[in-house]
Chains A and B, each alone.
Chain A
C-alpha cells in the first residue's frame, strides 16, 4: 500500500471540483486558498504517477521476505498489521523497523518531500520549509 487515502481518483475529484467552480469568484480569498491546495494535490499526483508503481514493487518484495508469504503490497500490508497487532512479530525487530521506515519514506516522497522529518531522514540540507 504505497500511499494513504484518499486515493488518486478521489484527489482528482477534489481538484476538478475546485477548478470547475466559477472563475469570476477567483478573487475571493477562500477561493485562492482552495486553488493553492488543488495545486499541491496536483503535485502529489504527479509524484505518485512517477513513483508509486516502483515503490509498490519494492514494498511487496520486502513484505514477502518479512512475512514469508505472497500477495500484493496492499494485502501483505494488511497481514503485517495483523501480525503486529497479535504480537506474533517482534515490534523491535530491525527488519520490521527498516521496512516501516522505507515504506514511510516512500509515501512521503509522494505526499510531502519537503516535510522536516523527511529532509532529516534523507540527509537533505536542513530546511525550515515544509
Chain B
C-alpha cells in the first residue's frame, strides 16, 4: 500500500472509532516480511506522541494453520487485556478501514534478534532471569480465559501430527528420519487434556528483551487451543538456540529451570516426557516448514535463493530429531 493512502486511512480509522483526532506522523515501512508488511508511525493526538507499529497482511501464502491478521490482532488484544506482557493493540482493521487484514499496536523498545539475545555480552544480566520469566509468561498465557478469545483452531495431538504428515507427504520427498519421527510420535501420543490458549510460536526471536529481561511477547499468528506443554517444547528447539546447543531454552537456559519455574508459576508439575513429545513434534514441524520453503523454490512459486537455501537446512532438523529420539544431550 502507498504511504500517503495508509496514513489517511489510519487517521480515519482512529476518528471513526472515536479515538480522537489523530495525526499519523513519520510513517515509514520497516520490512516486508514473509506474511506481513510492517510499518511504524508516530500517533500524535492532543500534542502527545506515541510510536506505533502497523502490520498488514500482504496476501502471501502462509504455512499451515497460521491465523489471519485480524484474528491474530484479536488474540493479542485479549492477551493484553488478561495482563500478558504483549504490545497493546490500538486498532484491529475491519472492512470499513479499507486496509485489508491487519492491526496497529504500540511500539516496544528492546532487542528481538535471537542471536543477540542468546549471545550479546550486554544482555548477560537479562539471560540470567530470562528462563524464569519465559516460564512465568507462558503460565500466564495458559491461564487466559478462553471465553474472551476469538474462534481458534482446536486440534488433538493426533490431528496435529496427521496434518503435519499430510503436508510432508505432499512434497513427495522420502526422508527416513522423518518417517522415524512420525512413528515415534504415534507411539508417544499423549492423552488429551482440557484445552488452553497456546501461543504456538513462543521462541527466542519472537519476544522483546532489554537489560532487565523479557519485556513483551510478540507474534501470535500461530495461537491455538491445545496442550500448554506444546509451548515449552517449542521454546527448546535447537533451531532457536543460535549455536548455544548446551542451553536448550533459547540458547540461554536449562530445561530444569524452565520446568521448575513453570510449575511454580502455574501450580502444575511439568511432565518432562510430554514436553519431549512436543519438542519432537515441534522439531519435525520446523523440518516440514523448511521443506515447505524449499518446495516453494523448487516449484517456482517463490523463486528466491533464500528459499533454496532453507531446503538444505532440513538435514539440520534430521540430526536434531535423531538426538531427541535417542536422548543425546
Instruction: Contact check, B180 vs A100: say whether CB atoms are below 8 A apart.
Output: yes
> Within residues 287 to 328 of chain B, which ones have a CB less than 8 A from any CB in chain A?
294-295, 297-298, 303-306, 308-309, 311-316, 318-320, 322-323, 325-326, 328
Instruction: Contact check, B305 vs A37: say whether CB atoms are below 8 A apart.
Output: yes
Interface residue? B182 (CB, 8 A) = yes
Interface residue? B184 (CB, 8 A) = yes
User: How many residues belonging to A are interface residues under a CB distance threshold of 8 Å?
Assistant: 49
Interface residue? B176 (CB, 8 A) = yes
Interface residue? B245 (CB, 8 A) = yes
CB distance from B256 to the nearest CB of A (A): 20
Q: Per-residue 0/1 for A48-80: is the Cβ within 8 Å of any B Cβ (1 yes, 0 no)?
A: 000000000000000000000000000001101
Interface residue? B83 (CB, 8 A) = no
Interface residue? A26 (CB, 8 A) = no
Contact flag A5-B298 (CB < 8 Å), given A77-B174, A100-B176, A112-B313: yes
CB within 8 A of A10: which of B184, B298, B319? B298
Contact flag A116-B174 (CB < 8 Å), given A14-B305, A40-B309, A97-B322: no
Interface residue? B100 (CB, 8 A) = no
Instruction: Contact check, A17 vs B305: say whether CB atoms are below 8 A apart.
Output: yes
Instruction: Contact check, B238 vs A117: say whether CB atoms are below 8 A apart.
Output: yes
Instruction: Contact check, A84 vs B183: say whether CB atoms are below 8 A apart.
Output: yes
* Contact residues of A: prevailing secondary structure: helix
> Within residues 138 to 186 of chain B, which ones have a CB less than 8 A from any CB in chain A?
173-177, 179-180, 182-184
Contacts of A41 in B (CB 8 A): 305, 308-309, 312
Instruction: Contact check, A81 vs B176: say whether CB atoms are below 8 A apart.
Output: yes
Contacts of B320 in A (CB 8 A): 117
Contact flag A107-B318 (CB < 8 Å), given A10-B298, A10-B308, A85-B183: yes
Number of A-B contacts (CB under 8 A): 133
Interface residue? A104 (CB, 8 A) = yes
Contacts of A4 in B (CB 8 A): 173, 175, 294, 311-312, 314-315
User: How many residues belonging to B are interface residues under a CB distance threshold of 8 Å?
Assistant: 43
Interface residue? A23 (CB, 8 A) = no
Contacts of A112 in B (CB 8 A): 312-313, 315-316
Interface residue? B242 (CB, 8 A) = yes
Instruction: Contact check, B183 vs A87: say whether CB atoms are below 8 A apart.
Output: yes
Contacts of B238 in A (CB 8 A): 116-117
CB distance from B127 to the nearest CB of A (A): 14
Instruction: Contact check, B177 vs A100: say whether CB atoms are below 8 A apart.
Output: yes
Contact flag A121-B244 (CB < 8 Å), given A4-B173, A5-B294, A37-B306: no
Contacts of A110 in B (CB 8 A): 315
> Within residues 99 to 123 of chain B, which ones have a CB less than 8 A from any CB in chain A?
119
Tell me the bound Cα distance from A2 to B326 in angstroms: 22
Interface residue? B241 (CB, 8 A) = yes
Which one of B183, B306, B312 has the highest number of Cβ atoms from chain A below 10 Å of its Cβ?
B312
Given contacts A5-B294, A116-B245, 9 further A-B contacts (CB under 8 A): A4-B173, A10-B297, A11-B308, A34-B304, A77-B176, A81-B174, A84-B180, A115-B316, A117-B323
Closest 6 CB pairs of A and B: A107-B315, A116-B245, A84-B179, A128-B243, A14-B308, A14-B305
B residues lining the A interface (CB < 8 Å)? 119, 173-177, 179-180, 182-184, 187, 238, 241-246, 294-295, 297-298, 303-306, 308-309, 311-316, 318-320, 322-323, 325-326, 328
A residues lining the B interface (CB < 8 Å)? 1, 3-6, 10-11, 14-15, 17-18, 33-34, 37-38, 40-41, 44, 77-78, 80-81, 84-85, 87, 91, 96-97, 100-101, 103-105, 107-108, 110-112, 115-118, 120-121, 126-130
Q: Can you identify 27 A-B contacts, CB atoms within 8 angstroms? A: A5-B173, A5-B295, A5-B311, A6-B294, A6-B312, A10-B297, A10-B308, A11-B308, A14-B303, A15-B305, A80-B176, A81-B174, A87-B183, A101-B326, A103-B176, A104-B315, A104-B318, A112-B312, A116-B238, A116-B241, A116-B244, A117-B319, A118-B316, A120-B245, A121-B328, A127-B243, A128-B242
